[in-house]
Structure 1
Amino acid sequence: MNRINLDRVYIDIVKDRKESCYKDYLKTIERVKNSTAMYKGKPIPFLYMPKFYTEEDIERFRKLTSTLMTILKKVIDRYVEDSSFREKFGFTKLLEDLILTEHGYSAKVPMARIDIFYKEDGSFKFCELNADGSSAMNEDRELSRILSGTVAFKEMEKKYKIHSFELFDTWVRESVSIFKEFDSSIDKPNVAIVDFNDKGSSNEFEVFKEAFKRNGYNAEIVDARDLKYINGNLYFNDTKIDFVYRRLVTRDLMERADEIPDFIRAAKEGKVCIIGPIKSQIIHNKIIFKILHDNDTLDFLNKEEISFIKNHIPYTAKLDGDNLNYDELIAEKDKFILKPMDFYASRGVYAGRDFSSKEWKKRLEECSGRDYLIQEYYTPAQSDLVEFNEGKLMINKFNNITGIYMYNEKLYGLYSRVGENAIISGLHDCYTLPTFLVTKK
C-alpha cells in the first residue's frame, strides 16, 4: 500500500459518484464557511480530497526528524558556547541576550513544524523550519473533521482504517510536561497563550485555550503588551502566569520590543517558563540552511549527519557577500529561489522559474542588501487530485509540501498544502488538505 494507490482508489470513488460527490462538495464548502477553519477572516481554500499517508511514511518522518533534531541541538549548543560561531547568525545584542538566557527545561525546540518536499520513493529536501509561532493545527483539525463526513471519505473508510492526527490535547500534555521540568511544585499552572492581538490566529488560539481548560488548566489568550512583570513574576491583570505558550514570533517580538518591556524583562531574567524559548530563533531564521553547510559547522558533526545535510538541506548562500556569480544566477534562474532570512507565510519569496530573465535580474537587484538568501529550488513531488470546476470533475496535478508537527521534539501530526505554482503558500493560490494516516483493515 502506498500513497499513489490510495489516491487512485479515492479518485475512482469520486469518478463513480460524480453527481453525488459534487453536491456533497457544495455542502462541504458551506460547512467550511461555518467552521473555524479561517485565515484573516476568510475560509481556508481546500479540495474535495484529503492527503493520505501510510505507516511507512510516518516511520520515515520519525527517522528524518530525529536526525534533524540531533543536528539542530548540536548547533544550538555551539551557538551558546562559542561567541565566534554566534557571529555567523548576525543577531542583534538584545536577541543574542535573550537566546543565551537559560530557559529552564531540556527541550531546545519545544514546538516546531518542519516543512519538507517529500516524494513517493522516500526522497526529500527541507523547505523551512518553523519554530516559534508554528501554526495551522486548527486548519487541519477542522478540515479533517469536515472532510471525514463526506460521501467519498465514507466510501474510502469501507476499504481502509483511516485515522486523523490530534494536535491540541497532545500539546497540552507535552507543554505541561515541559513546565513540570521548570517547576514541579505547581500542580495546575496558569497558562498564557501570548501574541500580539493584531498578529495572531484568534480561532486557533481559542481552540488551544479550550484544550487547556478541558484538561483542567486555567488558560487565557493574552496580548504581550498586557503582561506585567513584578518581582520575578509575570501577571495578566491579577492572575499570576506560570507558563507562557509563546505564539509571538521572534521577528515581531524584536520589531516591537519597545511595546513589551515587561515581557522582555521576564524573558531576559529566565524566572518565568516561556515555551518556546527565544533560542528557537537559531533554527527558525532561514540563515540556518546556509550555516548547516558551513565547514566549521560540519566539523562538529559526524559522518551520518554531514551526509544528511548534503542530501537533504538545499544549497543556500547569502545574496550579499558569498562570492556569487550573478551571471550564473540569471542564466540558471529556474534552479534558484530567493528567500528573506526572517519573514514568514512565504512573504517576499520569489522563484526564478516564475520570472523572465530580465524580471529575475531586477528581483536580484531589489533584494540585494535586504538580508536575502539565494537557495537551490527543489522541484516538489506532484500528485493527481480531485478538483471541481463549475460542476465539472477534473483530475489535476498539484505540487505538494508536507509539514511535520513536533511537540517536545516528538512527531505528533502532519500538515499538507498543495498548489499549481512554484511556491506553495497562501500567498500563491494554494490549498490546504486534511491529513490522515491510512492502515489496512
Structure 2
Amino acid sequence: MNTSDAIQFYNVLVKNHERRIQTVFEKHLKQCAKEKLTFGGRHMYSFLRPNFITLEQYRYIQYVCKILRNAVTKFKNAALENPIIMEQAGLLDRERELVMMDPGYDRLSITARWDSFMAGDELKFVELNAECPAGIAYSDIAAKVYDRLPMIREFKKHYNVEKFAIRQELLNGLLSTYAVWRGNKKNKKPRIAIVDWREVPTFTEFQLFKEFFKSKKLDCIIVDPRDLTYEKGRLMAGKKEIDLVYKRILTNDCVEKPEETKALVQAYCDQNVCMINPFRAKLVHKKSMFAVLTHEKNQNLFNGEELSVVLKHIPWTRMLRDEITYFNGKQIDLFDYVSTHKNNFVIKPNDEYGGKGVCLGMEATDQQWSAVLHEAKNGEHYVVQELVKIPKQPFPTVINGNLEFVDMVVDMDPYAFGPNVEGILTRLSASSLANVTAGGGTTPTFVITKKTKKAKKTFKIKASRVKSKQKPKSSYLKTNIKKTKKSTTIKKA
C-alpha cells in the first residue's frame, strides 16, 4: 500500500465540503486555539489534512532509527574516553565542561527527534535534535483535534487510522530515568519542573504538559530558570523543592547566561536534581554528528549494519574546514570542491536551530555562497551536507475564503525515546526550509491501513517495536532492509 491513493481520496472528501469549507476551517482554528495549539500566538495547524504514512513505512522508520541510535551511542562512548574523538563534535570549552559532568545516569538522550525527508522509498535524516525537542504535546493534542474533522470521520470508513501516545512515552522515559538516577532521591514521586524562559513561543506546550502530568497524579510546575534558587543541596522554585527537571532551556543559554542559570547548573553538577535531557546530549546534538557518522576515518567505530544504514540514510556531511576527504569515492579538497559545486550542497551553522543561518546552494547567489565559505575559513563553525530530495505534497487550506490545495515541503521527524520510536512530527513549508520557528506550519501524523472485508480490526502501532535483529515480515521492510545491507563500508576510492 502507498499513501498517494489515500491522499487523493481524502482530497475528494475535502472538495465535497467546499461549500461549507470556510465554516469547517474557522471551527478548526477556533478549536486549535482553545486547545493551546499556538506558537507565539500564531496558528500552526492551518491545513485541513494530516500527514499519512503506512504502517510498513512507520516500522521501517523505527528500524532505521534504532540502528542509528546504536551508532550515535558508540560515538558518545568513544568520545567520553578519547578527547581526540570528542574534538569532532566541535564543542566550545564551556560546553565540553558541561558534557563531562556526570548526570547521575548512563543514558545520553532520553527524548530526541530525528529530522528527515521521505521521498518515495528514499528516507534521509538530515539533523538530530538530541537536546530538547519540541512538539510532543502539540502533536498529541492536534491529533485529537483533527480526528473531529468531518473529512476524517468519512475517511475512517475506508481506512484504519491510528494516532500516537507521545506524551506517555516521554513520561515513561522521565520516570524510568529518575528511578535509576544515582542522585539524592527524596520523594517516592518526583516533583517535575519544566524549565525554560517564560517568554518562549512554546510556553503553551509547557501548559499542555503540566495538565498531562497532573492527570497522571504527578506534581508539576513551570519555572523560569531566573526564579530558581539552590541552597543546602536543594533546587527550589519558591517554597517547592524540585526533584526532576524536564529541561526545555537550551544548553547554549546556560553557556551564554551563567548567572541566570547558575542554580540549575550547580544542582545538576552536584547530582541534587535529575535533569532530562542531560547536558551530555549536546555531544551529539550538533550537526557535526552527521559528519562523524559519514566520515571515512570513523568507520572503525561502527559495525557493518550500522555503516550500511548510515550510508543509505544519512547524507554525506563534513565539518567545513581545510581538509582532504572523499566524496562519492573520489578524493577532494573540501573547500575547493564545495565552492565550485554549490548546487549539490547546503551549508549550516554547526549549532543553531529554527533554520538560522542555513544556506541552500541551489537558492544562494555566488556571492552569498562565497561569503559563507569565507566565514568558515575564518573560524566560524559550519557543516556542509549533500542535498537530499525534498518531497512535496498538496495540502488543503482556506485562503481568503476559498479552498486551495498548496504544494508543501513535507519534513517528517520521528521522536526517539532510547531504542523506541513513538510518533512523528510533520512540518510543512512552502519553501525549502521546513521549520515552525522560521515561519512554517505543522500537521499531525496518522498511520493508516486500508480497510478490507476480511480485516476490519484496528491495528495497534504501539506493539510494533522493531528489534535490530528482528526479521521484517512485510515486503516493504524486506526490500528496504535488504538494500541497506548490501553495502557495509563507506568507500574511500
Do both share a fold (TM > 0.5)? yes
Aligned pairs for 1:245-260 within 5 A: 245-260=246-261
Residue of structure 2 in register with 1:381 after alignment: 391
Partner of 1:244: 245
Are the counterparts in 1 of residues 140 and 165 from structure 2 also a CA contact under 8 Å?
A: yes
1:117-266 → structure 2 map (5 Å cutoff): 117-121=117-121, 123-182=122-181, 186-199=187-200, 201-266=202-267
Measure the CA separation in 2 of the matches of 1:26 and 1:178.
42
1:11-90 equivalences in 2 (<5 Å): 11-90=11-90
After superposition, the Cα gap between the structure-2 partners of 1:226 and 1:388, relative to the gap in structure 1 and judged at 3 Å, is closer
AA of the residue aligned to 1:77: N
CA 1:242–1:145: 2 relative to 1, 3 Å: same
- Which amino acid in structure 1 is aligned with residue 153 of structure 2? K
Matched ranges for 1:109-120 at <5 A:
109-120=109-120
Query: For residue 245 of structure 1, what is the amino acid of its counterpart?
Result: Y
Listed one character per residue, the Cα deviations across residues 324-352 of structure 1 (whole Å, up to 9, x for unaligned) are 55554344322111111111111111211
- Aligned twin of 1:2: 2
> 1:401 — aligned with what?
411
Distance 1:340 1:248, change over 3 A: same
Q: Deviations over 1:181-232 (max 9, x none)?
A: 1167732111111122233621111111122211111111111222222333
Question: Which runs of 5 or more structure 1 residues have no equivalent in the other structure?
Answer: none
Moved over 6 A (4+): none
Q: Aligned residue for 2:363?
A: 354
The secondary structure found in structure 1 opposite 2:166 is coil
Q: Does the CA-based 8 Å contact 1:421-1:428 persist in structure 2?
A: no
Q: Distance in 2 between matches of 1:200 and 1:75?
A: 33
Say if 1:227 and 1:236, in contact at 8 Å, map to a contact too: yes
Per-residue deviation, 1:166: 2.2
Q: Is the 8 A contact 2:228 2:264 kept in 1?
A: yes
Which residue pairs with 2:354 in the alignment? 345
Task: Output one character per residue of 1:20-57: Cα deviation in whole Å (capped at 9) or x when no partner.
Answer: 33431233233334441111221215211111122112
Deviates more, 1:75-84 or 1:268-277: 268-277
Residue type of the alignment partner of 1:388: V
Q: Distance in 1 between matches of 2:224 and 2:135?
A: 19
Aligned to 1:97: 97
SS at match of 1:56: helix
With over 3 angstroms needed to count, the CA separation of the structure-2 counterparts of 1:90 and 1:174, relative to structure 1, is closer
2:427 matched residue in structure 1: 417
- Which residue type is aligned with residue 269 of structure 1? D
* Shift in CA distance, 262/395, structure 1 to aligned 2, threshold 3 Å: closer
Opposite residue 300 of structure 1, the aligned amino acid is: L
**Structure 1 counterpart of 2:194, which letter?**
I
Is contact 1:117-1:401 (8 Å) kept?
Answer: yes
Residue type of the partner of 1:135?
A
- The residue matched to 2:14 in structure 1 has which SS? helix
- CA drift of 1:305 comes to 1.1
Q: Structure 2 counterpart of 1:412, which letter?
A: E
**Identical residues among aligned pairs (%):** 26
For 2:293 and 2:131, locate their aligned partners in 1 and report how far apart those are by CA, in whole Å: 20
Distance 1:42 1:398, change over 3 A: closer
Q: 1:390 — aligned with what?
A: 400
| Residues 12, 85 of structure 1: alpha-carbon distance in 2 compared, 3 angstrom cutoff | same
Maintained 8 Å contact 2:321/2:376: no
Write out per-residue CA displacement over residues 277-316 of structure 1, whole angstroms, 9 at most, x where no aligned residue: 1111111111111122234422121111112222222122
Say which SS state the counterpart of residue 228 (structure 1) adopts: strand
CA distance in 2, matches of 1:64, 1:71: 11
| Unmatched 5+ stretches in structure 2 | 325-332, 457-493
Checking the alignment, whether the CA contact within 8 Å between 1:194 and 1:221 is kept in structure 2 is yes
| Paired residue type of 1:334 | N
Tell which deviates more after alignment, 377-386 or 323-332. Answer: 323-332
Moved more, 63-72 or 419-428: 419-428
Q: Deviations over 1:154-174 (max 9, x none)?
A: 111221222222222332233
**What do you get for the CA RMSD once the two structures are aligned?**
2.2
Q: How much does 1:67 deviate? A: 0.3
Q: Kindly indicate whether the alpha-carbon contact (under 8 Å) linking 1:404 and 1:414 is maintained by their aligned counterparts in 2.
A: yes
- Mapped contact 1:169–1:212 kept (Cα < 8 A): no
Q: Structure 1 residues 391 and 409, CA, compared in 2 at 3 Å: closer, same or farther?
A: same
- Whether the 8 Å contact between 1:250 and 1:281 is mirrored in structure 2 is yes
Alignment partners' CA distance in 1, 2:438 and 2:268: 36
CA apart distance, 1:76: 0.8
CA drift of 1:136 comes to 1.4
Structure 2 SS opposite 1:193: strand
Answer yes or no: is the 8 Å Cα contact 1:37–1:138 preserved in 2.
no
TM-score (norm 2): 0.83
Amino acid at match of 2:314: I
- Structure 1 residues 185 and 258: alpha-carbon distance in aligned structure 2, compared to 1, 3 A threshold: closer
Alignment match, 2:338: 329
Maintained 8 Å contact 2:44/2:436: no
Q: 1:392 to 1:197 in 2, by over 3 A?
A: closer
Inter-partner Cα distance in structure 2 for 1:411 and 1:325: 35
Q: Structure 1 length as normaliser, TM-score?
A: 0.92
